[in-house]
Structure 1
């Protein structure tokens, strides 16, 4: 099997949980380099990996083909551009960049260099999202009319992470953080909307970056898709609510890959490594071919973030389609930028 050597730009939570375990377990990748500015935390689990003290040092010295930019969003553009200019393919954590201008420049640079930029939209591989895709593809709901996608938390106290909570930092706040997932899922399910209206602000107060957003996406054929997130949600809502001309579907946010990875579960290559569900996580209520109501409890199949890295490997080695290419995710950044504009000016924004 061809081996792809990878450099990881940071070894914080993202590196430890979402990237390093998959790079280690996938037989086609070798994590040969990692940036740790002052610590040596990676040595315990990844003793074969060389530690560098800066991204610049890693790019100058490491024998790598692929760079994972998993640093704070405010540095994504700088480090991704450095990697591309050094002749490396790039994976960038979501959100892609702080704005669409930076995203478009990276895509253009990658094309000029004959390299690729992929955005790590891992929640395309969540079990709950995959179940929603399946239900829509089955067609039992008929023509879609109204959809709500939520990602709520109960985190009322500051985290202390300035790059996420400082209101004057471009790219900080829930809209870029959780919103990057919800926007991506809406576009994956329904395409690029025609216009939007958004409410974005901080429930904790103006000294913090936004921690609440509600975005109303307007589509053709009278479809409305609402994206919503709050950090003051003690009781869970259904994460996906879909209403169509023939029925409705309610889906819990049931994927637990992140928690299992944090707990130390190893993401086995080629296996569904996540723990099975104990109960049903969805409700499907629809009119069947005889116009009779059927109401059934549904259970989603396991998701697997390893499938993202498998797709990356297949693109590099076999030329298969690139997962979440930067050129595609530029659309997400346009929506995020427009949501901020809409909230600031209190108006509907036309999307082009």
Structure 2
């Protein structure tokens, strides 16, 4: 078993990383760095709680370090972990700047360490279903891909996510998920056009974006907004044979936040009421049962990469490409023009 240390026990550490590592047989969740010792021991009574990252990194028994901290701390913590000889998983975003991400990628390669970014949404139930439909040719040649992540959140929160700075805002928070999914399906675009803004009163950060990725004839539109009482489809993908339209989010986050185990029999299984539909040109609908989502597959892939020297489930190169699109999007919105990738 690969002894694993987690840095951070906020939403990401508590609802994603700790329960997922705990549910993967090849990994042992051995220590957590947090000031929330009581919350940790409510769920993991015998867990070692470490006061700071330096103490964890100095432990020679820890092989893998998972970083789930505010966005602007990802790069420096990852650098320290790699230099300490650890394999590293970083929660998205990889870093807040492409240059920092590229430096980490080069450092991990030079040190012979596995470095991966937690783009767990590749294992969402709806995305797995969509990918299967595209691979089977049931949508035909995709001409318009729309992926949206809407919320209705009028009030501002006292959170680093909504504080001005390189780590705040919805583009760097939810954008990496949407961008990574489209890159996984279609590869890099030819160019990027973006509209980014703050729609809530007194917001210090962007809470709205719409990116258009240009792929020759095909367009991919990625969007998120904070003031949407009636959420738009999570996916609306239109091709030469059919459209696939899907509302709602994968259930895993809600299940994990409620304290469910990631290895429970019903984990990642969607309610049939939220299944998507294939819609043919004649208007006929076919309900498509969602595949089971399973974020454990990401961590199983990390364990295999460490033990067998195979490719990481999400490569640093993939994450760098996603960050480059986000940087181009900011420049595109600021300059009001389409930019080549």
Taking structure 2 as the reference length, the TM-score comes to 0.95
Question: For residues 1-16 of structure 1, what are the structure 2 equivalents within 5 Å?
Answer: 3-16=1-14
Give the drift of 1:96. 0.9
Give the drift of 1:32. 1.3
Give the drift of 1:91. 0.1
Aligned residue in 1 for 2:257: 262
| CA spacing shift, 1:151–1:95, aligned 2, 3 Å | same
Q: 1:306 aligns with which of 296, 299, 316?
A: 296
Give the drift of 1:321. 2.8
In the alignment, is residue 336 of structure 1 matched against residue 333 of structure 2?
Answer: no
Residues 45-54 or 100-109, more deviating: 45-54
In the alignment, is residue 323 of structure 1 matched against residue 313 of structure 2?
Answer: yes
Aligned residue in 2 for 1:296: 286
Give me the whole-angstrom Cα distance separating, in 2, the residues matched to 1:150 and 1:276.
19
Residues 59-68 or 75-84, more deviating: 59-68
Query: 1:140, 1:286 within 8 Å by CA — same for their partners in 2?
Result: no
Give me the whole-angstrom Cα distance separating, in 1, the residues matched to 2:204 and 2:15.
26
Aligned residue in 1 for 2:17: 19
Give the drift of 1:39. 3.8
Pairs aligned (count): 341
Give me the whole-angstrom Cα distance separating, in 1, the residues matched to 2:147 and 2:329.
16
Query: 1:6, 1:66 within 8 Å by CA — same for their partners in 2?
Result: yes
Give me the whole-angstrom Cα distance separating, in 1, the residues matched to 2:176 and 2:266.
26
- Provide, for residues 79-110 of structure 1, a one-character-per-residue CA deviation record: whole Å limited to 9, x for no partner: 00000000000000011110111110100000
Counterpart secondary structure, 2:245 = strand
In the alignment, is residue 228 of structure 1 matched against residue 223 of structure 2?
Answer: yes
Query: 2:78, 2:88 within 8 Å by CA — same for their partners in 1?
Result: yes
Give the drift of 1:27. 2.0
In the alignment, is residue 179 of structure 1 matched against residue 178 of structure 2?
Answer: no
Q: Which runs of 5+ in 2 are unaligned?
A: none
Counterpart secondary structure, 2:310 = coil
Aligned residue in 2 for 1:142: 140
Give the drift of 1:293. 6.8
Give the drift of 1:44. 2.7
Aligned residue in 2 for 1:159: 157
Counterpart secondary structure, 2:324 = helix
Query: 1:6, 1:29 within 8 Å by CA — same for their partners in 2?
Result: yes
Q: 1:129 aligns with which of 103, 109, 127?
A: 127
Taking structure 1 as the reference length, the TM-score comes to 0.92
Give me the whole-angstrom Cα distance separating, in 1, the residues matched to 2:298 and 2:266.
14
Counterpart secondary structure, 1:76 = helix
Give the drift of 1:25. 2.3
Give me the whole-angstrom Cα distance separating, in 2, the residues matched to 1:97 and 1:245.
38
Query: 2:125, 2:268 within 8 Å by CA — same for their partners in 1?
Result: no
Query: 2:251, 2:270 within 8 Å by CA — same for their partners in 1?
Result: no
Give me the whole-angstrom Cα distance separating, in 1, the residues matched to 2:244 and 2:268.
24
The Cα RMSD (Å) is 1.7
Give me the whole-angstrom Cα distance separating, in 1, the residues matched to 2:85 and 2:92.
22
Query: 2:147, 2:235 within 8 Å by CA — same for their partners in 1?
Result: yes
Counterpart secondary structure, 2:150 = coil
Aligned residue in 2 for 1:348: 338
